[in-house]
Structures are given as C-alpha cells and as structure tokens.
Amino acid sequence: MRASTYAPGRGRTAPDSSFGRRDPLLTERATHSTQLVREFFHYARLPIGLADAQASLIAKWMLVGFVHGVMNTDNMTISGESIDFGPCAFIDAHHPSAVFSSIDQLGRYAYGNQPHIALWNLARLAETLLPLVAADADTTGAVESVTEVLHQFLPRYEQHWLDGMRAKLGLRTALPDDRALVDDLLARMTDAALDHTGTFRALARVLRGSEPPPEPLLAWMGRWRARLAVEGSDDTSTAAAIDRVNPLYIARNHLVEAALATATDGDLTTLHELVELLRHPFDESPGRDRYALPIEMMRAASTVGAGSVTAAIERLDALLTEAMDDISLRPGRSDAGRVMNGH
C-alpha cells in the first residue's frame, strides 16, 4: 500500500486514478461551494472502501487456512487482491501461530495475526492520506476521521469472517451464540491438531453417515446438530451446502513441493494432476484421495508402487532431509511449515 506524498498542486493524480479503478463511486463529485470541500469528502471516504476490501480479503484467507507469509505494506493492494506472496501456504493442522517463513521467528505474520497486520498496514496508508483528507494545514480533524474508519476494520473483518464460518458449517441464519460455537470448534481443532481443510469437509460426510464424527469433536457435534435443528435443515441439503463452500483440494505445501520435485526430474504427471484438481477444488475426483490429505495422512495412505504421488513424496522427504541443516524450525510448527522456500 503506497501513496504519493502530497504537496499543493501535485500528488493527487495517482490516488485519484487508483481509487477510481477500485470503486467508481469514489470519483463522484457532489456540488459543493468550494473545491476544498469537494476534495475533503472525496478523500475522507477513501479509507472506508479500502478497509472493507481488506477486511473481506483477509477473512477469505482465514476461512480457507491461507497464510500470506510476509504481509508488508508493499505486499497489499488498495483493490483488496492477493499479491506478492512470501513463503505462503495453506495450513494443515489448524493453529493460530502457524508460520511458514524461516525469518518470521516471532510470528509477526502468523496465520492468526493476519487481521491485525492488515489493520497496521491500513494505518500506515492512512497516514500518507492525511494531507488529502485534511481541510487545512491542521490535520487534527483528519486524524480523528481516519481513526474512526480504522476502528471499524476489525468489526468489519469479524462480520465477513463469521458469515463465512456460518456457511462453512452449513448455517443459513445468524444467531448470537454462533461465535461461541465457532470458537469452540476452532479451539478443539487446535488442541487436537486437526486438519483445517479436512475437518470442514468431514462435517458433510458425518451428516451423510459415511463416516463417524472425529473423536475430538464429539461433544461439539451435539451443539452443532442442535444449532442446525433450529433452522430445520435436512442433513442432505446441509451436507451439499457445506461441500459447496469448503474445498476438498488445496495447494498443500507438500503437494506443491512434490509436483515441483518430479517436474524437475522431467515427470509432469503430478503437476498436471494437481493443477487439474485445483481448477475444481470443491468437486471430488475418484482415485485421487491422496491429494486431499495432509502430509502425515498421505504418507500413511501411500503404498509401495502407488504411482507418481508416492514417488514424489519420497523425493520430497529426501530434499527436506538435505535441507534441514539450514532451517531453523519453530516448536510446534506443522509439517507443511517445514517446507521452506528461501524466505
């Protein structure tokens, strides 16, 4: 998030064109008595749209267990799009402190910290916009105006995120106790190191009766089923709704690394299979169950002669063994977090 330094007579062209592309409404000019008043209202509303765009984006990351890696201010866009990834990854075992960067020893960009880092970045952008928002040389009023907008960010994020979590759980309505239900689920997932992606897809299979509930979630399941009963939803339609919003296949680190390893050896089979699955992440592909598993479960499911996937995993294990001497691992980091890419 970079903005031009403002000085009288210059510095407005870049913000005008950039924000106009983000939201045409931002370029509207109501009829006011002076140009100064027109510009004040134009630029004062900029942070509102930006804050909501970032809140929506980060909520989507969190819902699918995505970690950007290095959320510096220059790695975020005013358009609310994902760019310039660091050592990014999707988490396997759910944990708020999951990191994937060898230099992020303090967890600044950890999975659970991403909403707060986004707010910090927005605050830095807001500082550069103060001269554009201010009605005169005194920026006191502008600081208060922009601060008020920044204070809205986390509530906006929470709303986007909670709406998304309701959808992931097959809930169609909003009730006050939903946040507690979600928090309890995530706490149990963390304590039991349950796979983030796989756990939500498993809920649909439980409703269909095709597999038993995960043991760590047995007590929580009762509360969830009671909440579904409030809506009067049948299990079949709820399971279908859960599958529509929870991906089965994601670009897990070990899959990406395995595809790259075999591709480097001249075999593009695993790469092509992975790309094809990621084009339709919600649709189950028969015979490709391994692509939906975290690395430990994938190893357990693999058998001798199981094809290119097994060979890729074996090659990946060898590469990781060679690299371990150069990697400083944080305690408790998931297996996926051990795949470092030089950052």
* Catalytic sites, residue numbers: 74
Return the beta strands (E) in 150-303 as ranges: none
For residues 142 and 134, is the Cβ–Cβ distance under 8 A? yes
SS3 4: coil
| Packing angle, helices 114-133 and 140-150, rounded to 10 | 150
Quote the DSSP letter at residue 282.
T
- Residue 321: which of 338, 309, 297 has the closest Cα? 338
Q: How far apart are CA 4 and CA 141, in angstroms?
A: 21
- The two tokens of residue 211 are 């597999």
- Residue 203: which of 334, 22, 188 has the closest Cα? 188
Q: Could you give phi then psi for residue 221, rounded to 5 degrees?
A: -55, -40
